[in-house]
Structure 1
Amino acid sequence: MQNIAILAGHIGKDPETRFTQDQTRITTFTLATSRPRYASGKVLLDRDGRRVQDTEWHRITTFNGLASTVGSHCGKGMKVMVRGRIHYTKWTDDAGIDRYGCEIIAETVDFLSRAQKTEAGTDQPGEDDDIPY
């Protein structure tokens, strides 16, 4: 049995990088994926005839070389495909309550779009970044 996750979506905000005590680089980002909403077995449309979409947010974690690449070349709004594994964590907060979390530990991140440079030099998503279904 294998634990495999493949997600394609848009990066929610610029990736954040940190280092562990032994200098392992960790870069994290959120990824938005969307799917059409169904009613009575048909895709639900809004008043303008566009599909109604449900969006889910995923926490993505990368390590070492991949973390460096993602931290250097990815930005908010970029479309990427992530391949990795689902990882669950449990911890106890300061109040003694058990907390749970879920993240995707990425093994590969493929760039499906490029961030566009604005006049100010910051990265912005491209206009053609809709995810096809």
Structure 2
Amino acid sequence: MKNTVILAGFVGSTPEARSTQNGASITSLSLATTRSFRDGEGKRQTETEWHRVTCFNGVGKSVAEHVSKGALVMVTGRIHYTRWTDQSGQTRYGCEIIAEQVDFLTRGKASAEPEAEPNAEQAPASTGKRRRAA
């Protein structure tokens, strides 16, 4: 059996990085995905869903370093459900995506500076390549 999810969307806020007492790094981010559909009257509608994404260690460090609000990323990972009891004794449920891989579909904040114009001896910079946090 397999638990795999692939999401492509826009980062909703600057990723938050933290470390555990054991030295593991954890980066959390929110990701917006949008789907378009036609309602019962044939009018075009859009629906945005927000996903909580958690990245650990190397993936988390790369995301914290290169991703900022508004970036377009593709996350491959697994769905993780949690259950807890809040302070009032109510059982609560949550869902998050544990990222195993994050592909940067737009430039990250570290490479956002304008590039120098290539001269006649240099090949033009490649476009369309994706950077991957692994």
Q: Which category describes the TM-score, using the shorter chain as reference length?
A: 0.7 to 0.9
Computing the radius of gyration from Cα coordinates, the structure with the larger value is 2
What is the CA–CA distance in structure 2 between the aligned matches of 1:5 and 1:41, rounded to whole Å? 32
Q: CA RMSD in A?
A: 1.7
Q: Which of the numbers 64, 69, 72 marks the counterpart of 1:76?
A: 69
Displaced runs of 4 or more, over 6 A? none
Write the deviation string for residues 62-92 of structure 1: whole angstroms up to 9, x where unpaired. 0001000000000000000000000000111
Secondary structure of the residue aligned to 1:37 is: strand
Separation of aligned partners in 2, 1:36 and 1:68: 33
* Structure 1: stretches of 5+ with no match in the other structure: 46-51, 119-133
**Counterpart check, 1:111 vs 2:104:** yes
The percent of aligned pairs where both chains have the same amino acid is 52
Tell me how far apart the structure 2 counterparts of residues 41 and 20 of structure 1 sit (CA, whole Å).
51
Q: What does the per-residue CA deviation read over 1:24-75, in whole Å, with 9 as the maximum and x for residues that have no partner?
A: 1000000000000322495x33xxxxxx311000000000010000000000
Task: Please list every run of 5 or more consecutive structure 2 residues that lacks an aligned counterpart in the other structure.
Answer: 114-134
Task: Output the amino acid matched with 2:5.
Answer: A
> How far apart, in 2, do the equivalents of 1:12 and 1:98 lie?
28
Alpha-carbon distance in 1 for matches of 2:27, 2:104: 16
What's the secondary structure of 1:95's corresponding residue? coil
For the residues of structure 2 that align with 1:54 and 1:37, how far apart are their CA atoms? 8
- TM-score scaled by structure 2? 0.77
1:102 pairs, out of 95, 105, 120, with 95
Alpha carbons of structure 1 residues 41 and 69: separation in structure 2 relative to 1, 3 Å: farther
Aligned residue in 1 for 2:16? 16
